[in-house]
């Protein structure tokens, strides 16, 4: 059994191999002058299981092709089964034909992956219109890193004043609840309250935030718009310290600076997407379902 990685997140692959107690094999990937990929998994023949780790953040098209070529290469080298560990799965937000003739990329990518891989493991895949990973894949497991984030917060931030975990919308309620249960505190979500045909206010559904420390949680932070709006609402409601956490910190277009300028003390994400906010490892929940 071996773990190999594409070029997107080698650190995750090495940590997973160490946690599973199996060998990490370095792949070699480069481009020909015309842009074509050259992929190779050097070393001895693999006669059982090949695990590929490849996050699809930032360069989803190139990283997806790397993954497929690696999977086919492992099969040629003798692997009986190939597992794709995809810490961040791109295209999940394209989950509906929003306009006539539009490709539902989530379904297309799922078909591609299942053609080459025997099992797919993802972390906090963005499931909006689809509510379970089994509605998209026939052989996939979606694990959550929210528990890891919750334990990190509980250990690191023991001095929070009457903390409350906030989800910016109904969809994020599941994560707010999970982290709050670990921390032993309250949770809430923001909702729209309509006062008239033209006047709408977004505010906490139940909890009073005045004088309290607030943790805002979401699965993905891309450009930061949703989180910045949530920070502004929390501050208007009287929150003191504001901490932002997420599984996948894409943080495009200078989002981190904008979030901090809006009033967040710190932004914490996992290592599904590597950057300066990656303080928490999502390897453990992945390793649990590989075993």
Distance between CA atoms of residues 244 and 147, nearest Å: 15
In this structure, the number of other CB atoms found within 10 A of the CB of residue 156 comes to: 14
For residue 55, give the nearest of 26, 91, 79, 29 by alpha carbon. Answer: 91
For residue 161, indicate whether it is catalytic. Answer: no
Pure H helices in 131-215: 146-156, 173-183
Tell me, rounded to whole angstroms, the distance of Cα 82 from its chain centroid. Answer: 22
Q: Please pick, among 18, 111, 192, 201, the residue that the annotation labels catalytic.
A: 192
Distance between CA atoms of residues 97 and 259, nearest Å: 31
Distance between CA atoms of residues 235 and 262, nearest Å: 9
Cβ(40)–Cβ(87) below 8 Å: no
Cβ(4)–Cβ(73) below 8 Å: no
Distance between CA atoms of residues 192 and 126, nearest Å: 22
Any residues with CB less than 8 A from the CB of 111 and at least 6 apart, and which? none
Please give the positions annotated as active site: 192
């Amino acid at each position: 059994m071996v773990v190999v990685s594409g070029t997107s997140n080698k650190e995750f692959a090495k940590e997973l191999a160490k946690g599973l107690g199996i060998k990490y094999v370095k792949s070699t990937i480069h481009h020909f002058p015309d842009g074509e990929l050259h992929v190779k998994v050097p070393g001895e023949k693999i006669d059982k299981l090949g695990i590929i780790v490849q996050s699809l953040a930032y360069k989803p098209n190139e990283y997806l092709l790397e993954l497929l070529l690696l999977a086919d290469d492992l099969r040629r080298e003798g692997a009986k089964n190939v597992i794709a560990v995809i810490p961040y799965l791109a295209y999940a937000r394209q989950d509906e034909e929003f306009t006539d003739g539009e490709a539902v990329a989530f379904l297309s990518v799922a078909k591609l992956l299942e053609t080459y891989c025997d099992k797919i493991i993802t972390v906090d895949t963005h499931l909006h219109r689809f509510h379970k990973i089994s509605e998209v894949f026939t052989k996939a497991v979606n694990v959550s890193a929210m528990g890891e984030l919750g334990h990190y917060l509980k250990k690191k931030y023991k001095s929070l004043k009457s903390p409350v975990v906030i989800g910016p919308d109904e969809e994020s309620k599941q994560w707010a609840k999970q982290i709050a249960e670990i921390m032993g505190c309250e949770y809430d979500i923001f909702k729209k309250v309509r006062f008239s045909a033209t006047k709408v206010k977004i505010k906490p559904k139940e909890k009073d935030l005045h004088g309290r420390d607030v943790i805002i949680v979401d699965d993905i932070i891309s450009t930061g718009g949703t989180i910045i709006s949530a920070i502004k609402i929390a501050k208007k409601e009287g929150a003191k310290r504001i901490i932002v956490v997420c599984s996948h910190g894409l943080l495009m277009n200078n989002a981190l600076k904008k979030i901090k300028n809006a009033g967040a003390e710190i932004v914490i994400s996992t290592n599904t997407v590597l950057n300066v906010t990656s303080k928490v490892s999502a390897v453990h929940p992945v390793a649990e379902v590989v075993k």
